[in-house]
Structure 1
């Protein structure tokens, strides 16, 4: 999984140099109140908490945000305009661009590195909801999101020394999973997707969100698949088209459910995980947190329009 997209890059590689970088529709999309999400370093907690309901809804209703990238995530820069870079993100497949998800990022949230100098045989994926990047003497410097992935330099006692856009830093070993960079994280069965997703019940929805500071519906689906070894499209519409189509009577836990307006006949607008026993785990909408609900008697029961599966049976059925 990792090597397949990494080969797209030239010898010069642009990587995300903030905890979470928001990818905007255009350089004019951000507002004054979005400054904490535009700076380097960013303060994602501060930014999200500063937005009331109306300001948060406007991010989607006014088509301001496209997606987000995590610290160390690589992008292809296709154009620069003043202090902005137009990018595509190969780790986030999309029909919008065959190379990856497109959008605009502040140029100062990116760092140019040498591809050969960046790569390592092993990588570390953050498996805690958040993990602190530490200096050699243990000072906490940056609060990272779940599923931030960084190249491993070496293991150092109870910590892992990682390569970052800012040089070598450390992560607590119990906050990460280490895997071979050319193989990706191990693939898990459908139950694994739910096991990794359930701890996020209550986390506030955030439009365009791709981090454990806040996910949107398809970002939540994407991240839980990523944690279990699967690279799936970033958007719900693409997720519905690319996976294995599953009849409703054959649904199994970990399958994705899709919903459309006009009682399933209109535009597709939502995705969630089938949990089993008629339940769904999903990130619903602005103003609500990730939740586990019974589908029966809800609007979702009427709007169900498709189901797909990306997970595979594995030897470990835990």
Structure 2
């Protein structure tokens, strides 16, 4: 086994090297275009991701490589805790998406806007567009820019206004503000990036920006987080949903309106009242 890092802005994690379809080519290319991939899919095509995609890695995210086959790497993602594996979330990614770990540095910062430009020097052309939720170690701060360690051993710059210092205490108001950045974003099974989120991906990625490392999947989040009575929830807490005799299948942020959540394939991220069919499957709540 070896430890490496994602060297592309967003790498989608698949169930196997055989899982991607022809339409998924932009996502598995050596230089993936996840935005174009997401835009190319209609609802039926997105439904076809069930059983194919698992989660996503963001730039600089560490992974453990267990094996390699035909240009693919079998990995686990330790920043995404999972009951499937004690080391992290398991799956497969193109080996071309992986590179050296960033140089050790201090004061991690997270991208706290949907997308921001990574540049070689302050104010120069973009090297890449980094997604919300990307966490990198900072080296220095100069005139409104932060220098960060990159996955190829070099360094780059991000604007201070696009970042949040990870160790800043989190508030429920900030949790909802960050989640609301994606209102109207189309649901993406396995999504943890600005180009698409699923229900637990929203919770996981917002929490990452706020310095909280929580499980990736809804049922694991329900098991791991501090439980609170449903009738004592506050905005920023979590609602969990399950059908009788089944494990938790959905999660959302409690909001003043009802719930901020990525609903399901074919719908968009929304902040809405709890519908009767949702209330029928509301089984638990938790506090971050």
Alignment length, in residue pairs? Answer: 286
Report the counterpart of residue 55 of structure 2 in structure 1.
67
DSSP 3-state at the match of 1:249: helix
Choose which of 23, 41, 44 in structure 1 pairs with 2:31: 41
Choose which of 120, 128, 131 in structure 2 pairs with 1:145: 131
DSSP 3-state at the match of 1:194: helix
Q: Say if 1:187 and 1:230, in contact at 8 Å, map to a contact too.
A: no
TM-score (ref. length: structure 1): 0.85
TM-score (ref. length: structure 2): 0.94
Matches of 1:95 and 1:299, distance apart in 2: 28
Report the counterpart of residue 5 of structure 1 in structure 2.
none
Structure 2 residue 198 is the aligned partner of structure 1 residue 202? no
Structure 2 residue 254 is the aligned partner of structure 1 residue 274? yes
Report the counterpart of residue 84 of structure 2 in structure 1.
96
Choose which of 217, 223, 231 in structure 2 pairs with 1:249: 231
Report the counterpart of residue 290 of structure 1 in structure 2.
269
Q: Say if 1:254 and 1:274, in contact at 8 Å, map to a contact too.
A: yes
Matches of 1:73 and 1:138, distance apart in 2: 24
Q: Say if 2:135 and 2:209, in contact at 8 Å, map to a contact too.
A: no
Report the counterpart of residue 277 of structure 2 in structure 1.
299
Report the counterpart of residue 173 of structure 1 in structure 2.
160
DSSP 3-state at the match of 1:150: strand
Report the counterpart of residue 74 of structure 2 in structure 1.
86
DSSP 3-state at the match of 1:93: coil
Shift of residue 90, structure 1, vs aligned partner: 0.7
Report the counterpart of residue 238 of structure 1 in structure 2.
220
DSSP 3-state at the match of 1:125: strand
DSSP 3-state at the match of 1:162: strand
Shift of residue 213, structure 1, vs aligned partner: 1.1
Q: Say if 1:217 and 1:282, in contact at 8 Å, map to a contact too.
A: yes
Report the counterpart of residue 30 of structure 1 in structure 2.
20
Choose which of 191, 197, 200 in structure 2 pairs with 1:215: 197
Structure 2 residue 7 is the aligned partner of structure 1 residue 14? no
DSSP 3-state at the match of 2:185: coil
Q: Say if 2:115 and 2:131, in contact at 8 Å, map to a contact too.
A: yes
Q: What value does the CA root-mean-square deviation take over the aligned residues?
A: 1.7
Report the counterpart of residue 109 of structure 2 in structure 1.
124
DSSP 3-state at the match of 2:206: helix
Shift of residue 307, structure 1, vs aligned partner: 1.1
DSSP 3-state at the match of 1:224: helix
DSSP 3-state at the match of 1:218: helix
